[in-house]
Amino acid sequence: MKIALFQTDIVYEAPIWNLDKVSRWVEGLKADTDLAILPEFFDTGSLKTEYKETIRIMTELAIENNIAICFSTLHERHNRFCFIHPDGRLDYYDKRHSYPLSGEGKYIETGCFKKIILYKGFRILPQICYDLRFPVWSYNCEESRYDIAIYLASWPEERICFWDKLLEARAIENICYVIGVNRIGDDRRFHYPGHSKVIDFKGQVIKDTDSDLECCVTTDIDMESLKDFRSNFCTFEDSEKFRINS
């Protein structure tokens, strides 16, 4: 599966500008690209501002370009991870963990359920930013087995070393691909340095972006390599059996 990572500079509360830029990027992708991935709150850069046209516009973009697109947007007081299939079908996940230092909990209601999305033969776990700090929430258990975890983020520079290390840890412990897409630029409080990347099931970075550079990078991920590795080295059978009480 060929994926495109959009590491964008988000203009604060300027959804028309941000959506127009992303639309041009999607339209410029090669026809064999299967999935485009955008950062958290790519449309407004704000956890307070909901732009009600975002999902409709992105759905039309996915259909017109025959591509799946995933992104985060504010929707009815939820930080919503939207995965739009090429036929316009929508899967979504509402962020479980609100970030206390940003006051996110004042504006956003947390989700309660994990979601597994099926696409191109892969099982995908959608996650958003602060979710990365909670390994039990991304636990690759038998009841919700997945092959790729995607983290959409607005992760600031002062803690970017945590982002780098935790993405690799999630890949190793869950024997899966991990994709992290972080924004760049500045808002009223933080600077965001990017560090978007694709990590394989051994914890090795197979594609990354330059820091502080607005860019789109593409790479391929291979299901057969993951299956081969799991068949020869798999810890799933030895893992604890438990349920999360939401």
Q: Tens digits of per-residue pLDDT, 125-165?
A: 999 999 999 999 999 988 889 999 999 999 999 999 999 99
Q: Which member of 21, 82, 114, 129 is catalytic?
A: 129
SS3 124: strand
Residue 56 pLDDT: 98
CA 9 to chain centre: 16
Q: Which member of 50, 70, 82, 95 is catalytic?
A: 95
227 is catalytic: no
Q: Parse the chain into domains and list their residue ranges.
A: 2-238
- pTM recorded for the entire structure: 0.96
Q: Which member of 40, 50, 104, 168 is catalytic?
A: 40
CA 192 to chain centre: 16
Q: Which two tokens stand for residue 81?
A: 């991870």
Domain 2-238 architecture: 4-Layer Sandwich (3.60)
Helix 15-27 to helix 54-65 angle, to the nearest 10 degrees? Answer: 10
Contact criterion met (CB below 8 Å) for 59 and 84: yes
129 is catalytic: yes
